[in-house]
Chains A and B, each alone.
Chain A
């Protein structure tokens, strides 16, 4: 590794391996130190530009440290997220949970710094295999099957990506991870886009996300909401910028997520649907592909990580304290969890693009880029979706969770309280950043990959936003009775492939098993019977004719076997003892003869 570049993934991986050995009072300072070191490494790397940590492998040049503006801005926010997420779960005793989270973050940072497809794939898979533990560690009744489905889908995505990488290597002769010729897409272009897009939750490849993120542990979801989809956004921005189909895909994601979030009864699943919707804005921005659109997509990814993690921390606090996640089992919690309410409200205002909060400075960049690129239909539909975002996240979530009808049982109400100090501190950090980015966006704009010529705080934009939010709120107040949460689940596209999976299992268990059994029976009756008859004849012939007349070897072996059989006690220990003793005798004899 060249001087000047420190790979933060290396720090996190090595740091994770030592966590189990640090117990007691040393554990928490260590948990703080390693993410801070990783963040410091990313900040130091930001001063560099070029390819670092390059290794020759077979015919390829592997690049573990490609540093430019695009990778730096994503690496910075991811490293910051490791710090916030670790602080949030600082009181969690189980070392393996921290290890999984750090390996997951290391995978994300490794993918971001990767300069070739092989390195990208390595870290890509590390992300998938580490993150599944954040689902399993909730140890709920659904954790195991949900985790396996998550892993299965990501493995399929990984295989698609690998197929694309191999086809691309065959076609262009290198594994450099850079912008593809999206104007003339080849089969490998589509495969790579789909492989990357699956992690970005492109509809209809999105169903893993709401299911998995709502089932993750309270602190695992804070990591999950930040890394997988935004790393995928980074890779799409790197490889597929300007690919027209992504505009359509992004708009579909933005609207699909809105509708499902409005119907959702589970607070964390609502936020997961919100990720699908918000990542849709980023994907659309990447599809538009202009400098302003890419800047908008990157800026939105950064602020999305801030406000979404804050929202998952707020709802995670509710889950951690009450054990409940459904609107129909919660409500009125502002009185019991005022600090959690305050920070969640800041997250809600941030995602709603309210003036002074995070998304106000980013979402309008993407929509504005759509208008400027004359993609009017996309820009209008994204604006339509933005109203929906305010509806479900700015209004429905805080209203039905912290106000509205109190559906808490006596036990839930008694348990409800603001969470531990470290969780509150992490939320404070996230909320502060959401406000800071919202009121002073220039620091963020300075990190974006292209020069920024955009001013969010114009009188027109302010009035436009206030009218949009104000009158959407009016509509919510008048019509909210039509979307009151009900204790039901929302059927998604995954129903199709889950039913297809069941159909396959039925096919295997019933018709195919029947055919196999019938064939086996027919073979037993027809084939095996005749073979056995023939064999018996030859056995008789061998015993009486050959052995009896010629040499008597078979009789001798049987007689010896009858005597040796008496030595066997039937206990595995005795068998092993005899086998090892014989092996030792043979070995010693062999050595003796070799030496003599």
Chain B
């Protein structure tokens, strides 16, 4: 396992190229699959729909988490009036 990961890390450029190629294959497969069982109109008529959906949803979630975190959701432990937890006796 560690050797495989080390090999992949050593060939980062090739890994990136393979990833881009895979993305292209996934997106291109849109034109080769029967989508008449899709549930909604957009799935049937918007090319690469799930690619856009996946990217867009991930971007929106990252943006929402960032905004909420900066809005005060992420804060120090003193907000609950407790000290930061220390290590337990077993660990």
Least distance between A522 CB and chain B CB atoms (Å)? 35
Q: Which of A72-80, A338-346, A542-550 contacts B (4 or more CB under 8 A)?
A: A338-346
User: Is there contact, CB below 8 Å, between B65 and A491?
Assistant: no
B14 at the A interface (CB under 8 A): no
Task: Give the residues in chain B near A142, CB-CB below 8 Å.
Answer: 82, 85
Q: Fill in one digit per residue for A235-275: 1 if any B CB lies within 8 Å of its CB, else 0.
A: 00000000000000000000000110011000000000000
Asked whether A15 is an interface residue with its Cβ less than 8 Å from the other chain, the reply is no
Which single member of A383, A466, A486 contacts B74 (CB below 8 Å)?
Answer: A486
A379 within 8 A of B: yes
| B74–A470 CB distance below 8 A | no
| Contact residue among A140, A379, A476 (Cβ-Cβ distance under 8 Å from B88) | A140
How far, in whole Å, are A483 and B26 apart by their CA atoms in the complex? 26
Residues of the A chain whose Cβ atoms lie less than 8 Å from the Cβ of B83: 141
CA distance A564 to B1 in the complex (A): 87
Q: Is the CB of B61 within 8 A of A388?
A: yes
Which residues of chain A from 414 to 467 have a CB within 8 Å of any chain B CB?
458-460, 463-464, 466-467
Kindly state whether residue A57 has any CB partner on chain B within 8 Å: no
Chain A, residue nearest B50 (CB): A467
B29 interface hit (Cβ, 8 Å): yes
A479 adjacent to chain B (CB < 8 Å): yes
A217 lies within 8 A of chain B by Cβ: yes
Q: Majority SS of interface residues in chain B?
A: helix
Q: Is the CB of A471 within 8 A of B51?
A: yes
| Chain A interface main SS type | helix
- Chain B residues contacting A488 (CB-CB under 8 Å) are 69, 74-76
Q: Does A22 contact B (CB under 8 A)?
A: no
Q: Which of A339, A388, A471 has the most CB of B within 10 A?
A: A471
Binds B, one of A2-10, A368-376, A575-583: A368-376
Q: Which chain B residue shows the least CB distance to A142? A: B85
- What residues on A are CB-neighbors of B43 within 8 Å? 464
B61/A262 in contact, CB under 8 A: yes
A182 shortest CB reach to chain B, Å: 25
- CB nearest neighbor in B for A387: B57
* CB-defined contacts of B57 to chain A, threshold 8 Å: 383-384, 387-388, 472
Query: Distance in Å from the Cβ of A587 to the closest Cβ of chain B?
Result: 51
In the complex, A482 has a CB within 8 A of chain B: yes
- Contact (Cβ within 8 A) A470 B51: yes
6 A-B residue pairings within 8 Å (CB atoms): A334-B1, A387-B57, A387-B61, A468-B54, A472-B54, A472-B57
Other A-B pairs, 18, CB within 8 Å; known A387-B53, A460-B33, A472-B55: A140-B88, A258-B61, A259-B65, A262-B62, A263-B73, A320-B91, A323-B91, A334-B5, A384-B61, A463-B29, A470-B26, A470-B54, A471-B23, A471-B51, A479-B58, A488-B76, A490-B75, A491-B75
